[in-house]
Amino acid sequence: MDIKLQDEILKRRTFAIISHPDAGKTTITEKLLYFGGAIRDAGTVKGKKSGKFATSDWMEIEKQRGISVTSSVMQFDYNNCRINILDTPGHQDFSEDTYRTLMAVDSAVMIVDAAKGIEAQTLKLFKVCRMRGIPIFTFINKLDRQGKEPLALMEELEEVLGIQSYAMNWPIGMGKEFLGIYDRFHGRIEQFRTEESERFLPIDEDGELAVDHSMKATSYYTEAMEDIMLLNEAGNDFDEKKVLSGDLTPVFFGSALTNFGVQTFLETYLQFAPTPQPRMTEKEEEINPLNEDFSGFIFKIQANMNPAHRDRIAFVRIVSGRFDRGMTVTLARTGKTYKVTQSTQFLADDRETVETAVAGDIIGLYDVGNYQIGDTVVGGKKAFTYEKLPQFTPELFVKVTAKNVLKSKHFHKGIQQLVQEGAIQYYKTLHTEEIILGAVGQLQFEVFEHRMNNEYNVEVRMEPIGSKVARWIENEEEVKESMTGPRSMLVKDRYDKYVFLFENEFATRWFQDKYDHIKLYNLL
């Protein structure tokens, strides 16, 4: 292979930040972009959201709610690495897209608020990363405020998440008394709020502060030293192999807002973060990123950036080789070939036409309706298909009908396309064939309603039926309709497979006890 191309690929680090809303994802992203020189002022990412596409209908929802529907991609260079950060929308805009984004990264950075510990959304996203076996790096944020005890946080990580942890550094004090971090990995102390020349203090062979410093006389220093001794004796050892297999998470303490510990985190992260990883095809053949032929898969489709053109952008994670604008690619599902002249890349402060991109990068291809989520595109002669993206178990459900029955043709067409696109999941009741939609996050319903209205000209009536526990059935032939009751519903999914929708976990267990021969399972 072309050495230059190989070097380019090996420079890539592609990751997502997983966290619960308000843990500090935006703040840390800004600092990272700032270090990478991609933005001049830390503090410009948030303001951008109302920027460029403010006139489009798509962004109406964003504007109304003051949130970002787009999970964008940000790229910057640091220490001879090219870093791609994929945003994972959270809170009300949490959706299947958020999960699918995690299919396109090689590692994840988990941000935890020191005062809150592991929160619900972090846990959900963590599970998806864990299932993929990708490395997870933890940043415990907001040390400039009083939070939980560091040892308790470490324990929580291991207990709630079931992952081993290794503290790369350890806080000395916290909140108003935050003095700095003891950097176990680099063997130094990093001082909080100090002159750059005094930022690092050396430690001696015994692990003690090696210079005369007022910090030494504080109880915070003594406590930190006691904790570190405990970690040295009873904690896990640092093990790079375990980090790379996702079995051990390196933990960093810091404060994103005050930009403390972020740069050290970035540098250490880059030292261990994986380069672009191979991916399996449907036939279980492994495609190496250094393979010369371009290939990639679509993990997200964003529609109607500009309603005047009805355009969509398909986000492609490049798995192997190099993409050049103007090249011909084959869409594996249909065998059709396209010359790609319109492609885009996502930078922190703008979106620009991309001429070339390599394995590890994300590009956006303009789409007029040819692509679907999960599609494989290849540049070489031999078309193949990457393994399927997983489907995720929806938690929220609504019954949906067209307000005007005369519009039923448009209604069904719209639903079919939006389901195919992966915007929403489709179910129907058994005899009455009422349509039920399932989603991972509420926003998916809002986007659905908005798009049905704007793109298919159909007003829909949505009747929430609340959150349900959806379970598929391994031995479908054993299922009988009489098994349903007031706390469960039997429906079919878009592939005509039976699905039970239980009222809650309790109803699920009750069912399982009563019909123990029925083998239930959930998607991810």
> Interface with ligand G4P by CB under 6 A: which residues?
19, 21-27, 141-142, 144-145, 255-257
3-state SS of 230-262 is: HHHHHCCCCCHHHHHCCCEEEEEECECCCCECH
Burial class (CB in 10 A: 0-12, 13-18, 19+), 156: middle
As measured in angstroms, the least distance from the Cβ of 122 to ligand G4P is 10
DSSP 198: G
Helix, strand, coil percentages for the chain (3-state, nearest 5): 30, 30, 40
| Shortest reach from residue 376's CB to ligand G4P, in Å | 32
- Phi then psi for residue 113, to 5 deg, are -80, 120
CA–CA dist 214, 191 (Å, integer): 12
Coil, helix or strand at residue 328: strand
Token pair 């020349």: residue? 197
Could you give the CA distance from residue 311 to residue 414 in angstroms, rounded to a whole number? 16
At 92, list the tokens.
């009300």
Q: Which is nearer to ligand G4P, 122 or 344 (CB)?
A: 122
* 38/318 with CB nearer ligand G4P: 38
Q: Residue 175 or 202: which CB sits closer to ligand G4P? A: 175
Smaller CB separation from ligand G4P, 255 or 393:
255
Question: Considering beta carbons, is residue 119 or 247 the nearer one to ligand G4P?
Answer: 119
Alpha carbon distance 512, 519 (integer Å): 8
Residue 87 or 106: the one with the smaller Cβ distance to ligand G4P is 87
Report the residue number, 14 or 27, with the smaller CB distance to ligand G4P: 27
Question: At closest approach, how far in Å is the CB of 289 from ligand G4P?
Answer: 30
Q: Is 320 helix (H, G, I), strand (E, B) or coil?
A: strand
| CA R_g for the chain | 25
Q: How far is the CB of 98 from ligand G4P (least distance, A)?
A: 13
Min CB(121)–ligand G4P separation in Å: 10
209 vs 256 by CB, closer to ligand G4P: 256
Residue placing its CB nearer to ligand G4P in the complex, 141 or 391: 141
Query: b/e per residue, 104-136, with b = 16+ CB within 10 A?
Result: bbbbbbbbbbbbbbbbebbebbbebbbebebbb
Give the CA-trace dihedral at 256, 174, 167, 30, to 10 degrees. Answer: 0
Q: How far is the CB of 26 from ligand G4P (least distance, A)?
A: 3
Task: Give 192 or 371: the residue with its C-beta nearer to ligand G4P.
Answer: 192
Sequence-separated (6 or more) residues with CB below 8 Å from residue 103: 132, 299, 317, 389, 390
Residue 77 CB, nearest distance to ligand G4P (Å)?
Answer: 23
Q: Which is nearer to ligand G4P, 72 or 141 (CB)?
A: 141
Residue 443: CB minimum distance to ligand G4P, A:
15
To ligand G4P, the closest distance from the beta carbon of 67 in angstroms equals 10
Sign of the four-CA dihedral 508, 509, 515, 521: positive
Q: How far is the CB of 428 from ligand G4P (least distance, A)?
A: 37
| Tokens read off for 228 | 């570190």
- As beta bridge partners, residue 316 has 298, 363
Q: What three-state secondary structure class fits 329?
A: strand
Closest-CA residue to 360 (of 321, 314, 315):
321
Please, what is the minimum distance in Å from the beta carbon of residue 506 to ligand G4P?
Answer: 32
